[in-house]
């Protein structure tokens, strides 16, 4: 803000300024001040001639005084105090009316402290009052036929002093307050714009973070559901190759299992890809597709659940004859369109997916692949072996995925090893542990590839629910995976 109260570098409507000469912000301000200075100089010169006659001094001296005092308005924006002091100094000569009015307005509209403005305004009122009083008393004394009351001259002097001083001061204060208000509103608008920009940046960052989380979740679901099927397929294919000539009946059974698992994997992939295509189509049409990850998770979990439920359904073998799958083994699921799968999963993602009651079927699939697996359950309610969900759906699904991935890792990294799955129901928590021994030397490696994401995915699932996940090798040369999840058991009345 300049000495006149105007904002530096900003015009009346917020337009950038600063192209004026010297201390003027705009050229039109300089033109206005030059015009006012010229008018004030003419006034002061004329009034200086009258003062020279009354004071009986040369007219040239009075004109010179007017030429010195009048043009001071040129610096009113730079030094408003100087302009007011000059106007007070020339009051005894009864000159500088325009100089005094414009100077007081500029002083009140500037950023000069208000105490200085009040002091100079009081000095101006006093000077005007004294000058007007002396002039009126002299005029009344020269008129013999005019005898006003005693209060007339002081009252008129006071009125003239207030009329010449109060309006410019009040108007200048109003202009200063208006400028400060406009400046504060502009600063608030700039602050709000900056805040909105920051909020937009943060929203974009949150959206990017959400997209990354969705990608991770999709990859984790596809890895957990499909990788387990494909791993069992590879194990059965290896066994089929080993016994193809020695035991044709067992080879035929393994071939049927491979076909069943392949169809299950294809069904799960088709349903998940159908959800992705639906989400992409909705995004292309401008429709919201924020629920696609939840739908995908539900579809993946539902597909795994359907495959487990239908594991006991007999499926045709590769040779065309019927081949019954062993108890707990794998069997095919009906191939359904993506629309039905995604439509049923869109309702509630948490309500879908495998549960603890399906762990026995999961262990049975690994047994059918030739692994020796022992399942132990501690603290379970024996009177309710076939009850539904006993914990939250996310908790049971996480435990199921941990066991599934751990058994898949045993197939990959420790073929022929014995495994033990322990599930413990405790007060306020649910614990699971999968431990396998060392790989047997005589068992051929199935050659399953590993992407290194299994343990990471298990840890992410467990920690997302506030649980604890620990994994590492054992002293016997095997590997152990443990997870503890907080889970309050519901009260069964």
Mean pLDDT over all residues of the chain?
A: 74
Are the beta carbons of 381 and 405 closer than 8 angstroms? no
Of 28-37, 178-187, 380-389, least confident by mean pLDDT is 380-389
Identify which of 63-67, 129-133, 472-476 has the greatest average pLDDT.
472-476
Query: The pTM is what?
Result: 0.47
What is the per-residue DSSP string for 407-472?
HHHHHHHSTT--EEEEEEEETTEEEEEEEE-PPPTTSPP------S-HHHHHHHHHHHTT-EEEEE
Report the pLDDT averaged over residues 206-220: 81
Residue 89: partners with Cβ closer than 8 Å, 6 or more residues away: 69
pLDDT tens for each residue of 392-446: 888 998 999 899 889 888 888 888 889 999 999 988 889 999 999 988 765 555 5
In this structure, the dihedral spanned by the alpha carbons of residues 298, 300, 303 and 304, taken in order and rounded to 10 degrees, is: -110
Pairing between β-strand 419-426 and β-strand 468-473 as defined by DSSP bridges: unpaired
The residues facing 485 across adjacent strands are 430
Burial of 490 (0-12, 13-18, 19+ CB in 10 A): exposed
Q: What is the pLDDT of residue 15?
A: 41
Q: Return the sign of the alpha-carbon dihedral for residues 217, 219, 222, 223.
A: negative
Evaluate if residue 7 carries a pLDDT over 60. no
* pLDDT-based confidence at residue 5 (cuts at 50, 70, 90): very low
pLDDT digits 0-9 by tens, 33-85: 888 888 888 888 888 888 888 777 888 888 888 888 888 888 888 888 988 89
Q: Which residues contact 208 (CB under 8 A, 6 or more apart)?
A: none
> How far is residue 426 from each of residues 380, 385, 390, measured CA to CA in Å?
9, 17, 12
pLDDT of residue 111: 82
pLDDT digits (tens, 9 = 90+) for 304-330: 555 444 444 333 333 333 333 333 333
Confidence of residue 30 (pLDDT cuts 50, 70, 90): confident
Average pLDDT over residues 267-292: 59
Distances (CA, A) of 280 to 52, 162, 277, 491: 94, 78, 5, 43
Taking residues 3-14, report their average pLDDT: 42
Mean pLDDT confidence for 101-114: 87
What pLDDT was estimated at residue 467? 92
pLDDT tops 80 at residue 382: no
Closest C-alpha to 133, from 113, 111, 160, 115: 160
Q: What is the pLDDT of residue 234?
A: 74
Output the DSSP codes for 189-207.
HHHHHHHHHHHHHHHHHHH
């Amino acid at each position: 803000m300049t000495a006149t109260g105007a904002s530096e570098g900003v015009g009346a409507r917020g337009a950038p300024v600063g192209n004026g000469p010297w201390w003027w912000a705009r050229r039109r301000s300089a033109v206005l001040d030059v015009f006012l200075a010229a008018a004030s100089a003419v006034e002061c010169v004329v009034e200086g001639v009258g003062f020279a006659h009354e004071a009986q001094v040369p007219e040239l001296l009075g004109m010179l005084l007017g030429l010195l005092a009048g043009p001071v308005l040129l610096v009113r924006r730079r030094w408003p105090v100087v302009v007011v002091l000059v106007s007070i100094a020339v009051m005894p000569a009864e000159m500088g009316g325009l100089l005094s009015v414009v100077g007081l307005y500029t002083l009140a509209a500037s950023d000069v402290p208000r105490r200085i403005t009040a002091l100079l305004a009081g000095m101006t009122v006093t000077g005007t009052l004294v000058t007007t009083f002396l002039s009126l008393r002299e005029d009344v004394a020269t008129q013999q036929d005019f005898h006003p009351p005693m209060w007339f001259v002081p009252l008129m002097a006071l009125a003239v002093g207030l009329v010449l001083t109060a309006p410019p001061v009040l108007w200048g204060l109003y202009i200063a307050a208006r400028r400060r208000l406009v400046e504060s509103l502009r600063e608030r608008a700039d602050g709000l714009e900056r805040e909105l920009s920051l909020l937009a940046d943060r929203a974009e960052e949150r959206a990017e973070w959400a997209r990354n989380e969705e990608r991770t979740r999709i990859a984790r679901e596809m890895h957990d559901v499909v990788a387990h099927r494909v791993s069992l397929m590879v194990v059965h294919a290896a066994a089929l190759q080993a016994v193809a000539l020695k035991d044709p009946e067992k080879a035929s059974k393994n071939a049927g299992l491979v076909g069943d698992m392949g169809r299950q994997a294809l069904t799960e992939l088709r349903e998940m890809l159908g959800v992705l295509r639906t989400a992409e189509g909705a995004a292309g049409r401008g429709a919201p597709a924020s629920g696609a990850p939840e739908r995908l998770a539900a579809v993946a979990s539902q597909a795994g659940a359907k495959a487990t439920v239908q594991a006991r359904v007999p499926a045709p073998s590769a040779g065309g004859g019927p081949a019954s799958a062993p108890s707990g083994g794998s069997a095919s699921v009906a191939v359904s369109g993506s629309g039905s799968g995604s439509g049923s999963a869109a309702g509630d993602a948490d309500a879908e997916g495998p549960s603890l009651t399906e762990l026995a079927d999961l262990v049975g699939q690994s047994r059918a692949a030739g692994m020796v697996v022992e399942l132990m359950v501690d603290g379970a309610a024996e009177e309710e072996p076939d009850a539904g969900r006993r914990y939250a759906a996310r908790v049971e699904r996480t435990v199921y995925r941990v066991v599934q991935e751990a058994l898949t890792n045993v197939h990959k990294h420790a073929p022929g090893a014995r495994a033990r799955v322990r599930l413990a129901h405790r007060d306020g928590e649910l614990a699971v542990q999968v431990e396998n021994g060392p790989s047997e030397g005589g068992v051929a490696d199935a050659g399953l590839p590993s992407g290194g994401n299994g343990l990471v995915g298990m840890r992410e699932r467990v920690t997302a629910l506030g649980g604890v996940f620990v994994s590492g090798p054992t002293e016997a040369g095997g590997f152990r995976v443990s997870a503890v999840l907080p889970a309050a058991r519901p009260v069964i009345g």
